[in-house]
């Protein structure tokens, strides 16, 4: 073996190490860029949700708007619902004007004020709560609503994690205000449909995912009061951010 052969192999190994190091650096930079992009997407998602919720809040509608939206052709396919994630929300870019708002729901003690949309859709649950059955009516039987549990604890149904027994839930269709008092807070398996079955007494059922996404958080309340919108108290009006002169009333 000549003296040049080991030197030649050493030079080749050094070149391979240098090349491998450059590839690792490039991959590291790419991963940092991807991570930064993902982090940037979450605030954009939150902004889009807040914008859509605020645009469709009940304070921006009239009773005539709600009556028209009640006739909207929608689906009630629960299998359409997917996990809330920033990429999907941003890529779908839902136009709030295309969603059929039929009411509002508020829980003042956790600062929740959301539009209620007719039907079960991914788009509706991005920007509020959706009704689970076509024939359900406020103040009658089991009025069931579902929405996403956001990482941001102030968005959508995430505030349900902070409700307590005795908290009041307000619903309105700008004709009446319905007041429910929370008396059930529990978790069930996703296949447990007993919580949304019709009931003789008027109740409300709110459904969202738990932190693990493996269980469903259930909040139920019993109807304790129903008043015409003209007779709504200041606390009822304030819960929805309505003007003192209610539009469409």
| Segment 192-235, tens digit of pLDDT | 999 999 999 999 999 998 887 789 999 999 999 999 999 999 99
Closest CA to 45 of 130, 146, 127, 121: 127
> Catalytic residue among 16, 189, 209, 228, which?
209
Average pLDDT, the chain: 83
Report the run of H or E that residue 35 belongs to, with start and end.
helix 4-56
Identify whether 209 is a catalytic site residue.
Answer: yes
**Domains of the chain, earliest start first:** 37-240 (2.40.260.10)
Report the run of H or E that residue 66 belongs to, with start and end.
helix 63-69
Cα separation, 16 vs 37, whole angstroms: 32
Closest CA to 52 of 105, 110, 101: 101
> Catalytic residue among 148, 149, 189, 228, which?
148
Residue 159 has pLDDT above 80, yes or no: yes
DSSP 114: E
The pLDDT, as a whole number, for residue 98 is: 87
Residues with Cβ within 8 Å of 242's Cβ and at least 6 positions away in sequence, in order, are 58, 59, 232
Strands 129-131 and 112-117 come out as: parallel
Cα separation, 127 vs 117, whole angstroms: 9
- In this structure, the number of other CB atoms found within 10 A of the CB of residue 41 comes to 16
Which stretches of 71-218 are DSSP H helices? 86-92, 122-126
Under 8 Å between Cβ of 146 and 107? no
Query: In this predicted structure, which of 24-28, 41-45, 162-166 has the lowest mean pLDDT?
Result: 24-28
Cα separation, 135 vs 130, whole angstroms: 13
Query: Could you give the percent of the chain with pLDDT greater than 90?
Result: 52
Return the structure tokens found at 31.
């991963």
Return the structure tokens found at 238.
């304030």
The pLDDT, as a whole number, for residue 179 is: 98
Identify whether 228 is a catalytic site residue.
Answer: no
Closest CA to 84 of 134, 145, 42: 42
Instruction: State pLDDT tens for residues 57-99.
Output: 999 999 999 999 999 999 888 777 777 666 666 666 678 888 9
Instruction: State pLDDT tens for residues 98-119.
Output: 899 999 999 999 999 999 999 9
């Amino acid at each position: 073996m000549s003296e040049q052969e080991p030197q030649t192999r050493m030079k080749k190994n050094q070149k391979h190490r240098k090349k491998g190091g450059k590839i690792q650096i490039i991959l590291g930079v790419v991963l940092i860029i991807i991570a930064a992009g993902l982090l940037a997407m979450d605030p954009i998602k939150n902004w889009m949700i807040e914008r859509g919720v605020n645009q469709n809040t009940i304070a921006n509608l009239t009773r005539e708007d709600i009556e028209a939206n009640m006739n909207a052709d929608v689906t009630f396919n629960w299998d359409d619902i997917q996990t809330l994630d920033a990429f999907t929300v941003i890529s779908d870019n839902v136009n709030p004007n295309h969603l059929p708002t039929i009411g509002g729901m508020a829980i003042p003690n956790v600062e929740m004020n959301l539009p209620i949309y007719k039907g079960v859709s991914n788009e509706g649950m991005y920007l509020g709560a959706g009704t689970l059955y076509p024939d359900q009516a406020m103040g009658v039987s089991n009025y069931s609503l579902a929405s996403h549990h956001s990482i941001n604890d102030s968005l959508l149904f995430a505030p349900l994690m902070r409700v307590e027994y005795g908290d009041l839930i307000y619903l309105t269709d700008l004709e009446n205000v319905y007041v429910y008092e929370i008396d059930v807070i529990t978790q069930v398996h996703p296949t447990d449909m007993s919580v949304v079955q019709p009931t003789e007494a008027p109740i409300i059922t709110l459904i969202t995912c738990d932190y693990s996404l493996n269980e469903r958080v259930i909040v139920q309340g019993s109807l304790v009061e129903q008043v015409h919108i003209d007779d709504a108290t200041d606390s009822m009006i304030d819960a929805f951010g309505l003007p003192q002169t209610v539009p469409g009333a």
